[in-house]
Each structure stands twice: as C-alpha cells, then as structure tokens.
Chain A
Amino acid sequence: MDFAPVLDGFGVVLEPTNLLYCLIGVVIGMLVGVLPGLGPAATIAILLPITFGIEPVTAIIMLAGIFYGAQYGGTITSVLLRLPGEASSVVTVFDGFALARQGKAGTALGIAAIGSFIGGTVSIIALTLVAPFVAGFALDFGPPEYTALALLGILLVATVGGGSRTKAVVAACIGLLLATIGRDTFTGVERFTFHNLNLGDGLDFVPIAMGLFGLGEILYNLEERHNAVKAPSSVANVWPSRKDLRQSAGAIGRGSVLGFILGILPGGGATIASLVAYAVEKRRAKNPERFGKGAVEGVAAPETANNAAATSSFIPLLTLGIPANATMAVIYGALLIQGVSVGPRLVHDEPELFWGVVNSMYIGNILLLIMSIPLVGLFVKILRVRPAILAPITVLITLVGVYTVNNSVFDIGLVIVFGAVGYLMKKLGFEPGPLVLAFVLGSLLEDSLRRSLLIFDGDPSGFFTRPISGTLLLIFVLVVLLPIISSVIRGRRASGRETVPSDTTTKELV
C-alpha cells in the first residue's frame, strides 16, 4: 500500500487548529466519561452545532476525541466510586473497585490508562492497514449490495444492544419512517409532511440526535435516585509496579486483539468488547477465583478492549459508510452535514480527511495517557460537581445550540419534541440508538432499494443471486431467525424440566 497519504495525514493533524480541537475533544471526552449521566453519543449530539463553523476534518477529529476520551474517563468513576461513568467500563468495576478498597486505586487507574493507550494504538495501526483494503473491496458495491449492507447493519445494531430485541427493531423502523418525511427524491411527491412547510425538506438530523440522545437522557436522569457520592480519597502512586505490568501484559495483548475485532462488527463496540475480554481473561487464569477480588488483569483486559473497540468501530463508518453503533451514527450525521460523502471512496477522494482523523487518534491517545496518569487527581476533583447543576446548563446549551444551526425556532420545538420522545422511549424500553442509526441510513437504504428494483426490473430474487448481497442477506435472515430458533429450543427444554420462574424475573418484580 501507498504510505504517502498516511504521512500527509500527520501533516494535517499537526496543524495547530487541529491539535487544539483534538485536545478539546479528548478533554471533553474525559470529562463526559468521568461524569455519570451523559454518554459520548449524547455529548457529541449536543456539540453538533459547534461543528458547523469549522473544517470537516477538524470537526471529526474533535468528535472522535470525545468518543475515545470517554473510554478513558469512564474508568475513573468505576474504580473509585463503583459507579461506571460509561457502559463500557461496567466490568472494570468488579476488580477495579476491589483494588481501590485495598488502597491500590492508583495501580488500577494506571494499568487501565496504559492498557487503554496500548489497545488504542494497536487498533489505530491495524485500522491503518485494514481500512484501505476494506474500502477497496467495497468500491464496486452497487445498490443491491448497499441495500443488504444497510439492512444488516441496522439489524445488528438493533439486536446486539441490551434490552428487548423486538423493541429495538421497532425503534429502527420508526427511524426509517422518520427518514421518509419530506420530498421524495425520485418523484418529488411530499410525504408525511402534513402540509407543514418546515417539513418539506425532511427532518434535520441535528434536532433528532440532540433531542433523543441529549434532552431525552437528561429528562430520563431526572427520575434517577443517586446515592451519596463520597468524595473519593486522594489517589496516590498511579504508576503500576513492574510486577503488575508483567501480570497484565498478556491481558493487554489479548484485549487489544479482541477489542479490535469486536469493534469492527456492527453492534459490537466497546461495551461488548470489554465484557468478552474480561470473560476470556477469567477463563484463561490459573486461579480464576482471584477475579473480583482485585486482579490487575480484570482491569487491564476490559479497559484495553474497550478502547481498541472504540477505535476500530471507525472502520465500517469510514470505509463502507455504515455506522457500527449509535455514536458512530452521530458522527456519520456530522459528516453528512459537512457535505462529506462517506463511503468506500472516502480514503481515495479525501485522503486528508481520512488520514487526518485516523492519525489524530495517536495524538489523542498520548494526550489521554498524560491526562489520566499525572493529572488524574484533577479529574477526580471534578466528580464533586453535582449532576443537578450540570442538567440545566446542558439543557440551555441544547436549546440555544440547536437554534444556531438554522436560526430557526421551529428547530427548538423539534428538539423538545424529540427530547420527550427520547424520554418515553427509554422509559418504555426502546433504545433510541437504533432509531438514530436507522434515520441516518434511511434515505441510503430506500434509494438503493428502489434503484435495485429498477435494475432487477422488479424481481427481488436478484438480491440473492449476486454473491455479496446474497451472502449479506443470508446473514440477515440468520440473525432474524436465530433468536426465534433458540427460544423454541429453550422452551422445549424448559417444558421438559419443571418450569422454574427464572431468578431475574422474580427479582425484578419485587
């Protein structure tokens, strides 16, 4: 492969503006990770209006920094307070908090930071090698392939996440329907606009993402009862000992590889990667009973994996134009707003953007390593800021921010509506992630489907006779059928035995 554009990418990163925005991004990400409440998807959504005034590459460098920075920050609260700042740091709680109780919080944080750094870096190198190859492979994808790919991507994101699968797919369908609002690109007919002029050009992505992720999450958190957050003891001795490092070297290595692979898969991402990495370490360990009592590997593995996965989840987005998770969907939206067409041609057509963003991650990871080892005390202090004070600030930033995009009061109304929808969805067990993802892919999916039908002259079997779209659709069908088959099998087995009400349901009913 040709390394000249890769090196040119470093030139892009080292421009002072881009360095500054990279720093801003990772600091915000770290803060978001430390503060429980808003996740990276919500934060990136709320900050979308800022990205309008700046260059695309600068904007994405900042947004990417928020995403992987949050993986570093989430560790701090997991270890010190047993409150995971991010879902991807939940497993870190098991051993991280145990270490903190033994007075080794510093060790846990240090190992996590080093693991994150190595995981992130390994993943960037792998991304550099793999991404152009994937993009090259996808160059001759036609409409049928894109139809299949988008369908599979949406389905995987909807089914892999937590909560009810059916509800997640319903959310995705609603996203697809919302994407049809506005003028039809083929015929010019107005669809579902109810004669409202503001809807003629369709719904904007920004108010939807800001409302569902931002306001929806803030409103949802209003109901939450937080326990007293005890001001954490000061953290000393963040540099892990040589013995700790030796002990966790294997875990970091395996975590990097696992995280990279799981991050690429749609719907995979950081949370699953951290869980799998933890489970693998525990299974491999000579004495697994150490896990949960303060095993260093139990911190190293998930923290390495979640950061590696956060990085590699950029691959499907930057090479195929298919976001692999909710956060990537928001970044995809940001790219669309900037007028960048995301897809296999991106590496070729916009090498500065592509390699600028990828290479900025090296710098970002170094900045994060600096912040999370010597400056960890500073971030621990931030934990004392109460969520009650942050909530109205975030609400105002959202309401005023969405106005600045189009200078439109209608957009403020829209963001409030979607805030209410987002709250109701979370309340009723629907994840907003699949909706946003389906919304951004909606027009691509519909266009490709209609184009394909025109190509095939109305014969849908054409999707299955083309090798790539056929394979993708076969996987699609398998993903739909597997849970049904497995539940049938499980149902048979359960009826064979005595039907014991499962532990979880009884507990949740109490």
Chain B
Amino acid sequence: MISAPGGAHVPGSSGGHPAAGATPPAGAQPHGSTAAPVSPIDEIPLEELSLEEAIHRVEELEHEGRPPLAGTLSNILTAVAVVVLGVGTLIGSAELGIGTASKPGPGTWPMLVSIVTILLGVGLLVVARRSHDGERFAKASGLVLVGLVTMIVFVVALPIIGFEIPAALLCLVWLRFLGREGWRLSIILSLALVAAFYLIFVGALSVPIPHLF
C-alpha cells in the first residue's frame, strides 16, 4: 500500500493550485472531500487487486478533482437527445430515398445507423437511473462557457479586424480570469504570444490569415 499519512499531496483536499482556470468553488463539493482523506487508490488493499478493480481504480484516479456526478434528470435528457437525433436522421434518410436491399439508395446506410442510434438511446433511457458516468454542470462549467465565448469572439472578429486583437484578448482572458495568473504576467505573455504568432504565421510562413498590421 502507499500509506501516505500527511503525504505530499492529498487528492480532494481543498486549496491547491488551480489549474487552467479552476476556481475552488466554495459551495461545490470536491470529489469525496468530506469522507475520504485518502485517494481512491489507497482504499482497496492491493492484495485483492484484480484486473477489473484495477481498471476501475484507473478510472477513479482520472476522475479526481472533477465535479460531482450527474443526476437522473440530466441522464434522461441525454438519452432523449440521443433518441431525437436518431429520429431526426431517420426522417432525413427517408427523404433521401431508402432504396432496397438489392439497390441501396443514398438513405440506406444513414437509415440503418439512425435505427441503431434510436435503439441505443432507448437503452440509455432505461438505465438512466443507474448510470453514473455523466458529470453535473457546476459553477466551474461557467469557465468553459467563458472560454467558448472568447473563441467565438475570435472567429467572428477575425475577418473584420484581423487576428491580432482577438488573439491577444483571448490569451488575456484565459490567463488572467480562467487561469488566475497575475495581471503583469498575463499582459506580457499575451502580447508576446501574439507577436510570436505574427512572426511565425504571417512573417515566416506567409499564411493568408487576416491581419491588421
């Protein structure tokens, strides 16, 4: 066993260095913070390690520091979305022309795949209560939204004002707000990065990406 009393790093303990934008949300429960001061890797005595358990532990280790698991409602919605997708493509394939087995049409293959998708979606719906592989959308999910918005701003602004300003802005937001780096470092690094990209892509490779200067 890896006995780690007061070990160098205890997964699940609060604090720590927030990685790319991970705030330690006051309300959100870090995985197992209340119950387990040791990591999942320490829980089962290693003597009983079978392959299945080992795989399970690997998965648990990968889930360390992740938001809590999704509830039944979110699982049901996921399953419904899968069914809707399947039905949508099924209708689409019917419009394309299903053809026959000896003369397959453009819609034959999409139709087969949509039927399987619908069946699987129904299967997901049946096990929605028991399934535990989705994650809840926590406060930290807001960070992802912010990250996405910076990218959308980038792609929308790119053809109008070139890549320099949107790229610098994206870097600044990711470093300062999502990554919680200091202002000084964020500003310097953003400018340096854009300069480097300019030199590489516009200067050296002459990529025709829209640019301001």
Interfacial residues, chain A to chain B (CB-CB below 8 A): 37, 81-82, 84, 87, 90-91, 93-94, 97-98, 101, 162-164, 166-167, 169-170, 173-174, 176-177, 180, 184, 186-187, 189, 191-192, 215, 218-230, 271-272, 275-276, 278-279, 282, 288-289, 291-293, 386-393, 395-396, 399-400, 403-404, 407, 409, 412-413, 416, 419-420, 423, 427-429, 446, 449-450, 453-454, 457-460, 504-505, 507-510
Chain A residues within 8 Å of B201, by CB: 400, 404
Since A90-B57, A388-B21, A427-B137 are in contact, a sample of 18 more A-B pairs with Cβ atoms closer than 8 Å, ordered by chain A residue number, is A166-B124, A170-B121, A191-B96, A222-B22, A225-B19, A226-B65, A271-B58, A272-B55, A279-B49, A388-B175, A388-B179, A391-B174, A392-B175, A400-B167, A403-B207, A428-B78, A459-B101, A504-B56
Question: Is B69 a contact of A509 with CB atoms below 8 Å?
Answer: yes
Number of B residues, CB within 8 Å of A: 108
Interface pair B117/A226, CB less than 8 Å apart: no
* Interface of chain B residues 1 through 27 with chain A (CB within 8 A): 1-2, 8-11, 13, 15-22, 24
User: Judging by beta carbons under 8 Å apart, are A94 and B106 in contact?
Assistant: no
A175 to chain B, nearest CB (A): 9
Q: How far is the CA of A7 from the CA of B193 in the complex (A)?
A: 44
**How many angstroms between the C-alpha atoms of A18 and B177 in the bound complex?**
41
Q: Once the chains are docked, how many angstroms separate the CA of A291 from the CA of B123? A: 40
Please determine whether B100 and A227 come into contact, CB atoms closer than 8 angstroms: no
Least distance between A136 CB and chain B CB atoms (Å): 30
Chain B residues, CB < 8 A from A187: 105-106
Q: How far is the CB of B32 from chain A (nearest CB, A)?
A: 6
Contact between B20 and A180, CB atoms less than 8 A apart: no
8 Å CB contact of B155 from A170, A184, A388, A409: A409
B38 to A: closest C-beta gap in Å: 12
Task: Please measure, in the bound complex, the distance between the C-alpha atom of A504 and the C-alpha atom of B54, giving whole angstroms.
Answer: 13
Q: Is the CB of A458 within 8 A of B103?
A: yes
Q: Report whether A458 and B101 are in contact in the complex, using a CB–CB cutoff of 8 Å.
A: yes
CB closest residue in chain B, given A428? B134
| Among A186, A221, A428: residue with most chain B CB under 10 A | A428
With A271-B58, A403-B207, A450-B108: A226-B101 Cβ-Cβ less than 8 Å:
no
In the complex, A224→B140 CA distance in Å? 8
Main secondary structure of the interface of A (DSSP, over half): helix
Task: Tell whether, in the assembled complex, residue A429 and residue B134 are in contact, meaning their CB atoms are under 8 Å apart.
Answer: yes
Residues of A near B49 (CB, < 8 A) are 279, 282, 291
Determine whether the beta carbon of B117 is less than 8 Å from that of A458. no
What chain B residues lie within 8 Å of A387 (beta carbons)? 19-20, 179
Query: Are A94 and B46 in contact, with the CB atoms below 8 A?
Result: yes
**Residue among B22, B57, B158, B205 making CB contact with A225, cutoff 8 Å:** B22
Q: Cβ of B113 < 8 Å from any Cβ of A?
A: yes
In the complex, which residues of chain B have a beta carbon less than 8 angstroms from the beta carbon of A218?
20, 147
Question: Is the pair A227, B22 in contact by a Cβ cutoff of 8 Å?
Answer: no
Query: With the chains together, A485 CA to B11 CA distance in Å?
Result: 37
Residues on B with C-beta less than 8 A from A275 are 51, 54-55, 58
Tell me whether B171 and A174 are in contact (CB under 8 A): no
Chain B residue at smallest Cβ distance from A215 = B151
In the assembled complex, the Cα of A226 lies from the Cα of B24 at a distance in Å of: 10
Nearest 8 CB-CB pairings of A with B: A458-B102, A388-B179, A429-B133, A458-B101, A392-B174, A226-B19, A292-B46, A391-B20
Q: Is B58 a contact of A223 with CB atoms below 8 Å?
A: no
From B10, B15, B61, give the contact of A93 (CB < 8 A).
B61
Closest Cβ of chain B: how far from A87's Cβ, in Å?
7
15 contacts between A and B (CB under 8 A): A170-B124, A177-B113, A177-B114, A180-B109, A191-B107, A222-B147, A279-B49, A292-B46, A388-B19, A388-B179, A416-B148, A429-B78, A429-B131, A429-B133, A453-B104
- Cα distance A429–B171 when bound, in Å? 29
Chain B residues with Cβ below 8 Å from A220 are 144
CB <8 Å contact, A163 and B16? no
Partner of B61, one of A84, A228, A395, A413: A84
CB distance from B179 to the nearest CB of A (A): 3
Given contacts A279-B51, A389-B179, contact A293 B155 (CB under 8 A): no
Q: How far is the CA of A191 from the CA of B106 in the complex (A)?
A: 8
Distance in angstroms between the alpha carbons of A98 and B1 in the assembled complex: 8
Most buried by B among A163, A166, A229: A166
Known: A173-B117, A413-B155, A458-B101. A94 touches B138 (CB 8 A): no
Chain A residues with CB under 8 A of B170 = 392, 395-396
In the bound assembly, the distance between CA atoms of A466 and B121 in angstroms comes to 32
**Is the C-beta of B161 less than 8 angstroms from some C-beta in chain A?**
no
